Structure 1
Amino acid sequence: MGFWQRIFGKRKKKEEKKEDWDEIVYVRDDVDFHSQEERSRYITGCLEQIAEASREMNLLTGEYALVTSYLTDMEEIEALPEKEREETDKIARRLQALEKERETYHEKKDRMEDLEYYQMRKQEQEVEEGIRKIKEGESYGELIKKDLQRLDREHHAYEFRRAELDTIMTNFKGMAVIFLTALVICILMLLVLQFVFEMNTYLGYFLAVGAAAAAIIVLCIKFIDAEREKHRVEVTINKLIQLQNKVKIRYVNNTNLLDYLYMKYNTDSGAKLERRWAAYQQEKEERKQYAEAEAKTEYYQKQLINRLSNYRIKDPQRWIHQTSALLDKREMVEIRHELILRRQSLRKQMDYNDGVARTAREEIMEIARQYPAYAEEIMDMADKYSG
């Protein structure tokens, strides 16, 4: 058991070992300072460390001064007299309210796209007239379509009646042929009875001819009536065709007009254009309010900057976006705490880089003391590098 603990214990210690990356180590044992090349390379390395630390110090110093000024401004604001603080808070509350208005506008999900908005704005003076024309055209088109459908049904009905009359007239002709054929057959039979069987068939002749004549007369009358009705039907069909042509012309013209209006207003129905127009009007009002809020925001920002500039505040500009901190002490405390932590972190980095530069300089001075023969050369290298 102890054997395995020793093995795994050693492994754990090895895994938990951390490299000390912050420590700068100078190793001279393997450097031949009597060699100009090695000596120059070692000193250059130290000088580069000083330069790198100096660059970092410049950046850190600027940020440190900025954070410090921010903290100082917070102390100045909290030290304002009550009356002055009330006036400042009044402006801050107004700015905060305007900022919420702007956020509400930006967070709105169903906003009209800029392209669509500006297209509507170009046609703003004529959109309402366009909606009226499109709706009238759509209503008129529906009426025309209904008329065409009604005329088409009537046309089909009269065409069916004409075909029916043609069939009736054909049947009448066939019946007339049948009656005449029957008359001829009756006469032939009567002749046979008269001459072969010497029977008296005069009455038969009379009845056969009379019946055939009566049937043919009836057929002729019905045929003439059917022919007249067919003529009336054909006249009506011609009138329907002419009327259909007129309505078709109106339908095509109305359709072409609607297509043009749809293309002009980039829509496919009057209802959609009307909804877009309503959305545009709402968007226009909201954009107007947003523009007014922008103008008021700029005005109150200047007011706040001017008021804070009257006190010992180094950067009043930064507070126009920190109105919540001006109005809420808890948020001001949180910001101060964050700034203090940031300043501590910057101080730590500055101390580290200062230590790096100081250690590198001490290393160079130590080498100059240990090798006085090269001291002047080392100092010249340091002067040139820093210069």
Structure 2
Amino acid sequence: MLFKRKKKTDDTQLHIESIPDESTKGFNVVEICEQMVDAARELEDNRTEYALVTNYLTDIERMENMSETDKKTMNDAAANILTLEKTRSDFLKTKNRISDSQYAQMQQLEDEIPRAIKRLEKNESSLDVINKDLRYLEGEKVQFDIDGEYAKSRQQTFRVYAVLLVVFFAVVVAVCTLMQIVYGADTTIFMLIGALLSAVAGSFVLLTYQSYSDEVKSAAASKNKAVALENRVKIKYVSIKNAVDYTYEKYHVKNSKEFVYNYEQYLLAVKDKERFRRTNEDLEYNSKKLVSVLSKNDFYDARVWLNYTNAIVDHKEMVEQKHELIVRRQKLRGRMSYNVETITRLRREILSHRSELGDRIHEVNRILNKIAELDMEVQSED
């Protein structure tokens, strides 16, 4: 409703006690009295609202007749209120950037968050490097195992070569000895050649076997070093991983990128809240300013115009508001006239049956006198 009714302060009240419900020769005085009371109460409400609407119309006239200085103050304050209310409304419609619990936590730990972000980013980078190192060390261990197994297999091969050399030398000696005994041949040169070949081949086999033996030992030693280094790296990994997981759990994030994003949203939310606070302060300041200039010009209800700042700023809107108030007052005047006519008609009907009221005439007269007082006030005011 345009310019809602203020809380009633009118001292004029209608207190009427009901009378016994008795009918006299078909004339129901109780029903007629109740109708009169209802009409009188509605008339009283109409009068109160009529006076209220009249006061609002008077305020509009005062507004039109204000000094140019006061008008400028009023218009500036009203325009500021409109702008600030829109800003506040837009803010309230904005979706929260982060949850309330996240905001509260970041507000509490605001000073340490930048360091926590840098530490988390560094730890995540270290974990990436460590993971690469672990994969490399795992590959090295596999390669050392392969190298060791290959060296062992070559050792086995050269053992066979050594046995074959011994057999070869034994066969040469046996053949040479047999030829010397049977044929009386001089086989010394052949034995020397066989011995020389066996010695050369044996030396090669022995040196090669020893080389592969060194490779087996080297592969085992290298693998042990890789395992030891891997264990140290794993210990470091576990320590950093625990720190990272603790940060994730503490700040309810999945990675440093989400942490950075949430912190940026928190900073934006802080700015939003500060802007909202300043908006409220400015809104309160301009509201007081508007009420003050209207009160200075003796407005009936200065605060109600805080809800109609658009009418103050827009002349067309003010014309519409004024028109609605005038139409509303005309309707109230019509209702008041109707209720006065109703009361007059019902009073006339009761008076025409006065002789039939008997013992109830005093109570009915009291009601009629009360109604008459109210009726006279309306007639004189209207």
Task: Say yes or no: TM over 0.5.
Answer: yes
Q: How does 1:48-127 map to 2 (within 5 A)?
A: 48-109=34-95, 111-127=97-113
Change in 2 beyond 3 A, CA 1:317/1:183: same
Change in 2 beyond 3 A, CA 1:334/1:34: closer
Deviations 1:206-230 (Å, cap 9, x if unpaired)? 7777766655543332222111111
Identity of aligned residues (%): 27
Shift of 1:306: 1.8
Q: How does 1:124-135 map to 2 (within 5 A)?
A: 124-135=110-121
1:333 matched to which residue of 2? 319
1:380 matched to which residue of 2? 363
1:19 matched to which residue of 2? none
Q: How does 1:1-387 map to 2 (within 5 A)?
A: 33=23, 42-109=28-95, 111-176=97-162, 215-352=201-338, 358-366=344-352, 368-369=353-354, 372-377=355-360, 380=363
Whether contact under 8 Å (1:190, 1:205) holds in the other structure is no
Whether contact under 8 Å (2:295, 2:302) holds in the other structure is yes
Shift of 1:67: 2.6
Change in 2 beyond 3 A, CA 1:65/1:182: farther
Change in 2 beyond 3 A, CA 1:129/1:382: farther
**How far apart are the structure 2 equivalents of 1:263 and 1:241?**
32
Whether contact under 8 Å (1:194, 1:200) holds in the other structure is yes
Shift of 1:330: 0.8
Change in 2 beyond 3 A, CA 1:304/1:200: same
**How far apart are the structure 1 equivalents of 2:186 and 2:52?**
145
User: How many positions carry a matched residue from both structures?
Assistant: 348
**How far apart are the structure 2 equivalents of 1:81 and 1:145?**
80
**How far apart are the structure 2 equivalents of 1:88 and 1:194?**
141
Whether contact under 8 Å (1:54, 1:353) holds in the other structure is yes
Change in 2 beyond 3 A, CA 1:206/1:121: same
**How far apart are the structure 1 equivalents of 2:342 and 2:187?**
157
**Equivalent position amino acid for 1:343 in 2:** R
Whether contact under 8 Å (2:36, 2:343) holds in the other structure is yes
Change in 2 beyond 3 A, CA 1:169/1:313: same
**How far apart are the structure 2 equivalents of 1:382 and 1:166?**
133
Whether contact under 8 Å (2:165, 2:198) holds in the other structure is yes
**Equivalent position amino acid for 1:376 in 2:** D
Measured on the aligned residues, the alpha-carbon RMSD in Å equals 3.9
**Equivalent position amino acid for 1:277 in 2:** Y
**Equivalent position amino acid for 1:132 in 2:** K
Unmatched 5+ stretches in structure 1: 1-31
Whether contact under 8 Å (2:173, 2:191) holds in the other structure is no
**How far apart are the structure 2 equivalents of 1:219 and 1:359?**
144
Shift of 1:315: 0.6
**How far apart are the structure 2 equivalents of 1:70 and 1:173?**
120
Whether contact under 8 Å (2:24, 2:356) holds in the other structure is no
Shift of 1:356: 5.2
Whether contact under 8 Å (1:47, 1:382) holds in the other structure is no
Shift of 1:317: 0.8
- In the superposition, the TM-score normalised over structure 2's length comes to 0.75
Shift of 1:129: 1.4
Query: Per the alignment, in what secondary structure is the counterpart of residue 357 of structure 2?
Result: helix
Shift of 1:383: 5.5
Change in 2 beyond 3 A, CA 1:322/1:176: same
